[in-house]
Amino acid sequence: MIAIYSPAHTLHDPEFEYYDGQATPYAERASRIDSILDGCRRVNIPVQASNDKISLKELRSLHGEHYLRYLQSKCDGVAEDAQLMPSVFVNDTYTPLTHHTYEAARHAAGLAVSAAEMIASGMQSTVYALCRPPGHHAEQNAMMGYCYFNNAALAAQRLTSQGKKVAILDIDYHHGNGTQHLFYDRSDVLYVSIHADPAVAFPYGSGYQDERGVREGLGYTHNFPLTRVTTPQQYMATVDKATAIVNKFEPDFLVLSLGFDTYKDDPIGGLGLDERDYVAMGSRIADALAYPTVIVQEGGYNVEMLGRE
pLDDT of 90 strictly over 60: no
Cα angle 279, 275, 209 (rounded to 5 degrees) comes to: 75
Which is nearest to 143 in space by CA: 70, 101, 90, 103? 90
Distance of alpha carbon 193 from alpha carbon 201, whole angstroms: 14
Exposed/middle/buried for residue 92 (C-beta within 10 Å: 0-12, 13-18, 19+): middle
Q: Which of 137, 174, 175, 222 is catalytic?
A: 137
137 noted as active-site residue: yes
Model pLDDT for residues 213-245, shown as the tens digit of each residue: 999 999 999 999 999 889 999 999 999 999 999
**pLDDT value at residue 88:** 53
CA distances from 163 to 105, 116, 151, 156 (A): 26, 13, 19, 11
**pLDDT value at residue 226:** 97
Model pLDDT for residues 13-72, shown as the tens digit of each residue: 999 998 877 889 999 999 999 999 999 999 999 999 999 999 999 999 999 999 999 999
pLDDT of 293 strictly over 80: yes
Band the pLDDT of 187: cuts 50, 70, 90. very high
| Residue numbers of the domain that contains 279 | 2-306
pLDDT of 300 strictly over 80: yes
HSE, side-chain direction, 13 A CA sphere, residue 20: 2
Mean pLDDT of the chain: 95
Model pLDDT for residues 206-219, shown as the tens digit of each residue: 999 999 999 999 99
**pLDDT value at residue 68:** 97
Distance of alpha carbon 3 from alpha carbon 185, whole angstroms: 32
CATH number of the domain within which 189 lies: 3.40.800.20
**pLDDT value at residue 91:** 59
**pLDDT value at residue 106:** 98
Total domains in the chain come to 1
Exposed/middle/buried for residue 276 (C-beta within 10 Å: 0-12, 13-18, 19+): exposed
Band the pLDDT of 120: cuts 50, 70, 90. very high
Q: Tell me the chain's radius of gyration from C-alpha atoms.
A: 18
